[in-house]
Amino acid sequence: MGEENVLNVAGRYDQIRTIIKFVTAGGEAAGLDEKALFHLELCCDEASTNIIEHAYGAEDVGPIIVSFQAQNEAFVVTFLDHGRPFNPEDVAEPTYYDDLSDSNIGEFLDQMKVGGLGIHFMRRLMDEVHYNFDLKKGNELTLVKYIPERGV
Amino acid sequence: MMSIMQLQLIPCLWLIEVEGRLDQSQTPELEKILKQLQNDPQCSIIVDFSQATYINSGGLRCLLTSSRLAKSQGGDVVLCGLKARITEIFDMVGLNHVFTIYSTRGEAVDHFDSLQSDAPTGNSG
């Protein structure tokens, strides 16, 4: 199991790029390809945005603590915050994907407001998404991306 | 590097070029520009993504809100020049069905040109 790397930043939008660079550098070193790194970038962006907007409700309310670990077959990223419990499993999938049109777009936009689209991206682009809430630790969101086998 | 440029092509048709990342660092600015242009009710907008490298859910929401407003006012927001990674994000959410997306800026301009020439203007002969 690889060493754990930790970054602790203020919960602000201008820190999201720092988080993305930190995580994707780790992902690249772990052997993720360009496409997987792009997916990781988007999911880290959405996870951080949801922490600021929904767990904390504003910027500069509390920290975002990000850590990653490269295990044998998986790259594991964990987000911790001390905001309100925000369980992605409680956020419904946006309803319309295949038939999104002018008639249902308003409903879809409402769902996007509660972080639904970011969560959808995480579910679609990561291999595993886990959530845990602990009174001491706060919200803990874990994103897992499998590392393709490297050629010998 | 990032920037947003706007240019009026003809009356009622604007071009916005997004460069770099359409995330929290640029979306509020894009939102402001779109709102401003849409004060002119029937205004249509081409958003050129050929220099854009990234979009997140906030960027998508901004474009969708603007598209909805444009359509309700008789205008439109069309997109062009999306790179493969950005196209993947649009497709994943089904937004490729909501927006008219052209490969190039030229094709997007041609679309509005053809609308103009079809419209009875009274001075076209």
pLDDT bracket for residue B124 (50, 70, 90): very low
CB distance A118–B56 less than 8 Å?
yes
How close A1 gets to chain B, by Cα (Å)?
31
Q: Say yes or no to pLDDT of A112 above 70.
A: no
**Residue listed under structure tokens 């081409």:** B46
Q: What is the pLDDT of residue B42?
A: 83
The A-side interface with B (CB below 8 A) comprises: 13-14, 16-17, 38, 41-42, 45-46, 49, 94, 96-102, 105-106, 108-109, 112-113, 117-118, 120-121, 124
How close A92 gets to chain B, by Cα (Å)?
14
Tell me the percentage of chain B whose pLDDT exceeds 90.
58
Retrieve residue A56's tokens.
């904390």
CB distance A112–B98 less than 8 Å?
no
How close B123 gets to chain A, by Cα (Å)?
34
Least confident of A80-84, A142-146, B42-46: B42-46
Give the tens place of pLDDT for each residue, B65-96: 999 889 888 899 999 999 999 999 998 888 88
| Rounded CA separation A77/A70 (Å) | 9
pLDDT bracket for residue B125 (50, 70, 90): very low
Instruction: List CB contacts (< 8 A) between B57 and chain A.
Output: 46, 49, 112, 117-118, 121
Q: Which is nearest to B56 in space by CA: B92, B102, B89, B33?
A: B89
Q: Which is nearest to B95 in space by CA: B73, B57, B64?
A: B64
Give the tens place of pLDDT for each residue, A22-65: 999 999 999 999 999 999 999 999 999 999 998 999 999 999 99
| Rounded CA separation B14/B51 (Å) | 17
| Rounded CA separation A72/A55 (Å) | 32
Q: What is the pLDDT of residue A28?
A: 97
Instruction: List CB contacts (< 8 A) between B87 and chain A.
Output: none
Task: Say which CATH architecture domain B3-116 belongs to.
Answer: 2-Layer Sandwich (3.30)
Domain ranges for chain A: 4-146
Q: What is the pLDDT of residue B14?
A: 93
Host H or E run for residue A34: helix A34-50
Which of A112, A113, A114, A125 would best serve as a mutation to test chain B binding (most B beta carbons within 10 A)? A112
Q: What is the pLDDT of residue A106?
A: 73
Q: What is the pLDDT of residue A111?
A: 67
Q: What is the pLDDT of residue B115?
A: 77
Of A9 and A71, the one with more pLDDT = A9
CB distance B57–A49 less than 8 Å?
yes
Average pLDDT across chain A, whole number = 88
Q: What is the pLDDT of residue B2?
A: 63
CATH topology of domain A4-146: Heat Shock Protein 90 (3.30.565)
For residue A101, give the nearest of B56, B89, B98 by CB distance.
B98
Q: What is the pLDDT of residue A86?
A: 83
- Cα B32 to chain centroid, rounded: 14
Q: What is the pLDDT of residue A10?
A: 98
Asked if A129 contacts A142 with a C-beta cutoff of 8 angstroms, the reply is yes
pLDDT bracket for residue A150 (50, 70, 90): low
Give the tens place of pLDDT for each residue, B7-54: 888 888 999 999 999 999 999 999 999 999 988 888 899 999 999 999
Domain ranges for chain B: 3-116
